[in-house]
């Protein structure tokens, strides 16, 4: 994956792909090259398509936000013969590098197009799409860029959930110091997430207080969950207004067991049904699976 790629010099040329015949396409997937699984490279780029190599239509504009790894792109159905990928930035030298291109995308692209946030793209449909698959998984290019793991593997928080290991492995940070920060492969419009907080066992509970903030640039942050006024535990189901997200920052402020905040699993968007009419003072909607347990711990 890391030693073979197609490249072009930034500011000069492009990567041009010709299909054997015209196809009507509405999605594609590309994998951007990185040094290795732990050394990320960020890029900015555009993708244009054409049937005659003369008139071009832009279907993706990623020039305002740095992206990495897997890129899943959704656009209006368009006849395509030529695909032109033009890199405009790389955090590692003066070359734009692609490992893989697929069209149409062979993963499940199930988008909700009710939300449109296309201020940074010429595409008629925003490429900051609202997916209905887990964009925080490592298979979709997400990574934990800040936080510690209690095992040998990295990105433990983002691996598939395994009930038998929920009390053994986790990602953590010291209270009053640092956070757990996740970077998605590209911007997505999200309105829900699910977090599993670590416990000793099914009968030996640990209670936490925390906040969750999100950002598109790792500088300007929006709080989407505030659980600092009550102790919570185990599964946390969070709902909030549709928001463009690249970075997720989880900050623990209290633990009933020591000075570490520990998370086992993160999922966004939530892949189970959320039925909550509870509105908090800040306008967000939250469902705490174990409200009675959390309430008794702080009462």
Q: What is the pLDDT of residues 209-251, one digit of tens each?
A: 999 999 988 889 999 999 999 899 999 999 999 999 989 999 9
| 275-296 tens-digit pLDDT | 443 333 333 444 443 332 333 3
> Who's near 144: CB < 8 A, 6+ residues apart?
154, 155, 156, 157, 158, 171, 180, 181, 182
pLDDT of residue 203: 74
Which residues, in sequence order, are bridge partners of residue 14? Answer: none
- Letter string b/e over residues 127-145, b meaning 16 or more CB atoms within 10 A of that residue's CB: bbbbbeebbbbbebbbbbe
pLDDT of residue 298: 33
| 151-209 tens-digit pLDDT | 666 777 777 666 666 767 889 999 998 899 999 888 889 999 999 999 887 678 999 99
CA angle 43–218–7, rounded 5-degree value? 5
Query: Are the beta carbons of 174 and 259 closer than 8 angstroms?
Result: yes
Query: Are the beta carbons of 190 and 130 closer than 8 angstroms?
Result: yes
The alpha carbon torsion through 276, 188, 179, 284 (nearest 10 deg) reads -30
pLDDT above 80: residue 259: yes
| 84-133 tens-digit pLDDT | 999 999 999 999 999 999 999 876 544 443 333 333 333 323 445 678 78
pLDDT above 90: residue 266: yes
pLDDT of residue 160: 65
In angstroms, the CA 97 to CA 65 distance is 17
Phi-psi group of 43: left, alpha or beta (phi > 0 → left; psi -120 to 50 → alpha; rest → beta): beta
pLDDT of residue 107: 62
In angstroms, the CA 268 to CA 212 distance is 12
Most confident of 123-127, 262-266, 268-272: 262-266
Q: What is the mean pLDDT of residues 56-79?
A: 90
pLDDT above 90: residue 33: yes
Residue ranges of domains in the chain, CATH in brackets: 6-102 (2.60.120.260), 138-298 (2.60.120.260)
Q: Residue 129 is encoded by which pair of tokens?
A: 């799409």
């Amino acid at each position: 994956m890391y030693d073979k790629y197609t490249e072009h010099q930034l500011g000069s040329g492009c990567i041009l792909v010709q299909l054997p015949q015209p196809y009507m396409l509405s999605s594609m997937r590309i994998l951007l090259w990185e040094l290795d699984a732990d050394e990320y490279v960020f890029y900015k780029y555009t993708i244009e398509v054409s049937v005659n190599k003369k008139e071009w239509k832009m279907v993706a504009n990623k020039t305002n936000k740095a992206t990495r790894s897997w890129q899943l792109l959704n656009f209006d159905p368009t006849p395509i013969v030529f695909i032109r990928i033009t890199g405009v930035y790389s955090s590692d030298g003066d070359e734009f590098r692609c490992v893989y291109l697929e069209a149409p995308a062979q993963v499940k692209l199930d988008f909700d197009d009710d939300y449109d946030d296309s201020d940074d793209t010429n595409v008629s449909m925003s490429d900051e799409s609202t997916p209905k698959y887990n964009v925080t998984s490592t298979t979709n290019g997400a990574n934990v860029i800040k936080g510690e793991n209690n095992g040998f593997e990295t990105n433990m928080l983002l691996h598939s959930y395994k009930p038998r290991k929920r009390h053994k492995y986790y990602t953590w940070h010291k209270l009053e110091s640092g956070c757990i920060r996740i970077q998605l492969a590209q911007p997505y419009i999200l309105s829900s997430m699910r977090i599993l907080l670590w416990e000793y066992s099914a009968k030996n509970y640990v209670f936490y207080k925390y906040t969750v903030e999100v950002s598109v640039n790792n500088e300007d942050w929006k709080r989407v969950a505030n659980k600092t006024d009550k102790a919570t535990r185990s599964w946390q189901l969070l709902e909030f207004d549709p928001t463009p997200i690249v970075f997720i920052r989880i900050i623990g402020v209290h633990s009933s067991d020591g000075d570490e905040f520990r998370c086992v699993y993160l999922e966004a968007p939530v892949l189970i049904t959320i039925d909550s009419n509870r509105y908090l003072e800040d306008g967000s909607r939250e469902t705490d699976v174990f409200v009675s347990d959390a309430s008794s711990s702080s009462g």
